[in-house]
Amino acid sequence: MKICRWKYEYQDIEDNQNQYTIEECKRNGFVDAKYIKSTNRKFNGNPFIEALPRPRNMKHSSPYFRPIAPVDYLKFKDLTTEEKKEEVLYLKEFRLPLSFQKELEFVNYDVMTNSYSLRNIYYWSSYVFNETIEQKNFELQTKLKGQVADSAPSGFSLLGESGCGKSTAIKELFNNMPQLIAHHPKEGMVIPQITYIVVPCAPNSNFRLLYTQIGEAIDFVLGNAEPCYERLISKQRNLGDMQMKVCELIEKFSIGTIVLDEIQLVNFKSNRENTYEALLSIVNKTKVALSVVGTEDAYNLLFSKLRNARRSGEYINASAYTQNKAYFSKLTWILFKWQWFDEPVRWTQELSDTLLECSKGLINQLIWIYKWMNLEYIEAKANGQNVVVDCDYIRKINDKHFRHMKSQLDLMVQQQIEQHEDQKIIDAAKGISNQNYEPEDISSLDPMHEAKITAEVIEMVHRMFPQFDSDSIGDATKQVIERDQDHKLRTYEIAQQTLDILQHKPVKKKRRTSKKKPTSKDITAYLNL
């Protein structure tokens, strides 16, 4: 075997930009490699690293923020009760930026680059017999291998309470990266690179199922109609043979990282082949990065031994934001921009505190409660009932739909207090006395500030140009905000440039204010400027 090295050209892109388009990142199938020169000289010339998108700079923009279309109150009033309820259900697609996501973005990049830096691509010649034409075909084989003597790479452990947004964050994390990259060292030669696979662990699953799921994930990435590699792994006689096949596939397809989601559901037994050490032996052999996502209970389950804790890599506490009252207030303040009540309900600190009390700070629980607040309101109004959206109303909704979860959520909070001894939780309960308070320091938390601006721009553009959906408007807005690093653009100027992107117009430099009357299709007309 020989080490395969080749020269390639670098892409010329702007700072903090992705060399791949959104379509390429979401494509099912091969995407031709595009290389950007790493700022780390150690990685220069490593195609598997320099083909990876860099972590997104979230200083001015949060890619994890996914707003939904603004409520068109003029049309909403004319809808039937059932149609109004269907509008509310769009909340399931709503995503708010969370504090741990920025750390996750950079930790994952560090994990993947470290993994690929420990491996080299080798090639050798072999003969493949074709039964149809009865002749031997010359074929070049490749494999990404690491040196056994080298230290194994570590992954990350994203741990937190159920419903805090871990799995959603993982999904958005990898939305920025093609899953299957094709390298072309020379004409007619293709080296595959599966950048990542995410394996959702099934309840009470054993290692046989886990290894089979890895094969299933590889089949999915490659677009195999038949379960080729899933079947290859499943037909092995024992766990040891299954593990060896997994290692072979990792090397064959240059897999960068494997993420095990809901790791606490795996049935780890005391025998040697069903322990976390068995998974780490895969890392030792292949140098693939192995990361886990799960509840905090998983930490004690997997990393009770010091060496395992060290190998688990960077620990990211996904639940930390649930104990931060000020942060939670910013989340609810943004959420209240979308509501389906007959009369707008003003955000207050008291309402936010009540939502914190009921949801225990969990983002998924918050969205569910808020969804039912709107649904129950619509139903009551349809029946001629008078409804006041206040703290008592929130508690009523919570008791009606989530009474069965109350004891579990209360226990969770109590455990957090005992484990972390966080006096800030108690202090936060005293809160801010002003009920009509709106967070004035919203800009101090960059993702929140970006979310606020994006929501406003979406509303502006969508009302005038309903043909553009909120996702498209949001993506275009992020581009404008990222370019405006000096924060010189006002909201209406961001909206205008967003509209230019959507209409495929070149973005012009900022000009002096014109005295001419704006046209009907100018965003400034909507703002009455």
Q: Is pLDDT above 70 for 405?
A: no
DSSP 131-168: TTTTEEEEEEEEEEEE-TTSPPPP-EEEE--TTSSHHH
Q: Is pLDDT above 70 for 326?
A: yes
DSSP 187-216: TT--EEEE-EEEEEPPTTB-HHHHHHHHHH
Judged by average pLDDT, the poorest of 46-50, 169-173, 414-418 is 414-418
* Residue 439, token pair as written in the block: 């967070």
Residue 390 located in a structural domain: yes
Q: Same domain, yes or no, for 473 and 363?
A: no
Q: Same domain, yes or no, for 89 and 121?
A: no
Residue 66 located in a structural domain: no
Return d(Cα 392, Cα 369) in angstroms, integer: 13
Return d(Cα 218, Cα 253) in angstroms, integer: 9
Q: Between 226 and 520, where is the model more confident?
A: 226
Q: Which residues contact 256 (CB under 8 A, 6 or more apart)?
A: 48, 52, 112, 115, 116, 193, 194, 195, 196, 288, 289
Q: Same domain, yes or no, for 283 and 339?
A: no
Cα–Cα nearest to 66, from 295, 363, 397, 389: 363
Q: Same domain, yes or no, for 278 and 327?
A: no
Which of 255, 288, 317 represents a domain boundary (last residue)? 317
Neighbour tally for 500: CB within 10 Å: 16
Q: Same domain, yes or no, for 170 and 216?
A: yes
Q: Is pLDDT above 80 for 387?
A: yes
Q: Which residues contact 483 (CB under 8 A, 6 or more apart)?
A: 507
Q: Same domain, yes or no, for 109 and 162?
A: yes
**Mind listing the pLDDT tens digit for each residue in 288-309?**
999 999 987 777 666 655 455 5
Helix, strand, coil shares of the chain, percent, nearest 5, are 50, 10, 40
pLDDT for the residue numbered 119 = 92
Residue 352 located in a structural domain: yes
Highest mean pLDDT among 118-122, 188-192, 321-325, 392-396: 392-396
pTM: 0.74
Binned at pLDDT 50, 70 and 90, residue 128 comes out as very low
Residue 63 located in a structural domain: no
Q: Same domain, yes or no, for 340 and 470?
A: no
* Residue 188, token pair as written in the block: 């007619």
Residue 65 located in a structural domain: no
pLDDT for the residue numbered 253 = 95
Cα–Cα nearest to 210, from 186, 234, 191: 234
pLDDT above 90 coverage of the chain, percent:
46
pLDDT for the residue numbered 268 = 73
Which of 317, 350, 371 represents a domain boundary (last residue)? 317
Q: What is the DSSP letter of 35?
A: B
Q: Is pLDDT above 50 for 219?
A: yes
For range 471-484, the mean pLDDT:
82
> Inter-axis angle of helices 101-117 and 166-174, to 10 degrees?
50
Q: Same domain, yes or no, for 91 and 134?
A: no
Q: Same domain, yes or no, for 85 and 46?
A: no
Q: Provide the number of structural domains found in the chain.
A: 3
pLDDT for the residue numbered 512 = 42
CATH code of the domain containing 242: 3.40.50.300
pLDDT for the residue numbered 311 = 58
Q: Same domain, yes or no, for 437 and 460?
A: no
Q: Same domain, yes or no, for 204 and 255?
A: yes
DSSP 249-296: HHHHTT--EEEEETGGGB---SSGGGSHHHHHHHHHHH--EEEEEE-T
Binned at pLDDT 50, 70 and 90, residue 130 comes out as very low
* Residue 287, token pair as written in the block: 């140098």
Q: Are 329 and 439 in contact (CB under 8 A)?
A: yes
Q: Residue 169 belongs to what domain range?
A: 2-54+102-317
Q: Is pLDDT above 70 for 127?
A: no
Q: What is the DSSP letter of 7?
A: -
**Mind listing the pLDDT tens digit for each residue in 44-98?**
999 999 999 999 877 766 888 888 888 888 888 889 999 999 999 999 889 998 9
From residue 501, alpha-carbon distances to 57, 58, 269, 508 in Å are: 21, 21, 55, 11
Return d(Cα 278, Cα 15) in angstroms, integer: 41
Cα–Cα nearest to 172, from 514, 528, 505, 474: 474
Q: Is pLDDT above 70 for 382?
A: yes
Q: Is pLDDT above 60 for 14?
A: yes
Return d(Cα 318, Cα 322) in angstroms, integer: 9
pLDDT for the residue numbered 343 = 87
Return d(Cα 332, Cα 80) in angstroms, integer: 28
Residue 370 located in a structural domain: yes
Residue 403 located in a structural domain: yes
**Phi first, then psi: what are they for 409, rounded to 5°?**
-65, -40
Q: Same domain, yes or no, for 115 and 250?
A: yes
pLDDT for the residue numbered 433 = 33
Highest mean pLDDT among 157-161, 424-428, 518-522: 157-161
Cα–Cα nearest to 382, from 79, 1, 175, 163: 79
* Residue 499, token pair as written in the block: 């509209």
Residue 249 located in a structural domain: yes
Q: What residues does 257 pair with on adjacent strands?
A: 196, 289
* Residue 441, token pair as written in the block: 């320091």
DSSP H or E stretch at residue 419: helix 391-420
Which of 317, 332, 362 represents a domain boundary (last residue)? 317
Q: Is pLDDT above 80 for 133?
A: no
Q: Is pLDDT above 70 for 129?
A: no
